[in-house]
Amino acid sequence: MYSRHSSPSNLYLGEALAAMEGTESANTTASGMGAIAPAILQLCQAGDHIVSSRTIYGGTYAFLKNFTPRFNIETAFVDITNLEQVEASITKNTKIIYCESVSNPLLEVADIEALSKIAKKHNLKLLVDNTFSPLSITPSRWGADVVFHSLTKFINGSSDTVGGVTCASQEFINSLRDVNDGANMLLGPTMDSLRAASILKNLRTLHLRMKQHSRNALYLAKKFEADGLRTVYPGLKSHKDHELFKKMMNEEYGFGGMLTIDAGSLEKANELMELMQERNLGYLAVSLGFYKTLFSAPGSSTSSEIPMEEQKEMGLGEGLIRISIGLDNDIERTYQMMNQCMKDIGILK
């Protein structure tokens, strides 16, 4: 076959990721969006309908909100934790339920098993973006039909590439690669094979990295919460989906490396992030899953595609800081330094 269809290195990486996600097969792509957009287009015709979580990555949101309507594919955005609302939004034209296992940036947890039951009942496909929780959650175990990752994040782990993957049945992966009507074959979001080889090398250490990301994030989340900061982390008992995450999780990998805190206002959020960067605690950057801690204010960056009104409605406050916790060896020292930054800008006494 021609290399846009497949190449040995892409197939090796795909095999490893399919094994990790417990699916029959996988197809690697040049970016996360390069996996998500073609899979949706493969499953939907003009006139079809999608039910999607409203708390998803801004690019996916923009694709469903602004791009697919050009092909007369409409999306109902719902609170994915409200299963009644999900089911009530299904129409006779619905083909897909779309969500993120742990949502960006609000860290809501989708009940994949319950969503899968609804999907099966209505003969729909359940598509789950698992970018925030590799290894911790295995969506296919709970009934997801298609699982995506932006490999750009934890899986590659060194913020030096862009990549994506679609993990699914052999039948669906074959349909994406079909030379006559496969969206991946025809739209061409193929991963470069040298890049596939380098991501496969990084994948070898993902299990150790995820354990450390999770350990450090849990430590900091507990400390921040005890300090009185509004902290959202699925590993905290105060998280509304804590028990659900616990039910789904592969315990040894923990609750993941992402947490959010609320600095009260965008000004304070920016001040804190700039100070933490200055003191070498991490970088002000929109990506995640790096060895260094990364922080951003999602309302004005990664979720800026979502209109302000809708951000407010879903609880995405201006002062929200999304933090991807790094692999720091001495997390107690990191905490002390972050705590000092918070005191210095006046959000803690």
Ligand X SMILES: Cc1ncc(COP(=O)(O)O)c(C=O)c1O
Q: Does 184 bind ligand X (CB under 6 A)?
A: no
User: Six-digit token pair at 23?
Assistant: 């699916």
Q: Amino acid identity, residue 46?
A: A
Calculate the CA dihedral of residues 330, 331, 333, 338 and round it to 10 degrees: 150
Nearest alpha-carbon partner for 13 in 204, 210, 299, 145: 204
Which residue lies nearest ligand X, judged by its C-beta? 32
Contact string (CB under 6 A) for ligand X, positions 3-22, x = contact: --------------------
Closer to ligand X by CB, 9 or 31: give it.
31
Contact 155, 275 (CB under 8 A): no
Query: In the range 26-85, which residues lie near ligand X by CB under 6 A?
Result: 31-33, 57, 59
Q: Does 129 bind ligand X (CB under 6 A)?
A: yes
Query: In the range 278-317, which residues lie near ligand X by CB under 6 A?
Result: 302
Q: Candidates 104, 159, 260, 296: give the one binding ligand X (CB under 6 A).
A: 104
Cα separation of the two ends of the chain = 64
Q: At what angle do helices 193-203 and 8-21 cross, to 10 degrees?
A: 40
Q: Candidates 6, 23, 55, 150: give the one binding ligand X (CB under 6 A).
A: 150
Q: Candidates 44, 99, 162, 220: give the one binding ligand X (CB under 6 A).
A: 162
* DSSP class of 209: H
Q: Does 89 bind ligand X (CB under 6 A)?
A: no
Q: Candidates 38, 134, 139, 164: give the one binding ligand X (CB under 6 A).
A: 164
Closer to ligand X by CB, 108 or 225: give it.
108
Q: Taking the complex as a whole, how short is the minimal distance between the CB of residue 37 and ligand X, in angstroms?
A: 9
Q: Return the number of other C-beta atoms located less than 10 Å from residue 349's C-beta.
A: 7
Contact 337, 293 (CB under 8 A): no
Q: Taking the complex as a whole, how short is the minimal distance between the CB of residue 304 and ligand X, in angstroms?
A: 12
Distance CA 116, CA 104 (A): 20
Q: How far is C-alpha 167 from the chain's CA centre?
A: 14
Q: Does 130 bind ligand X (CB under 6 A)?
A: no
Which spans of this chain sit near ligand X (rule: CB under 6 A)? 31-33, 57, 59, 100, 104, 129, 131-132, 150, 152, 162, 164, 302
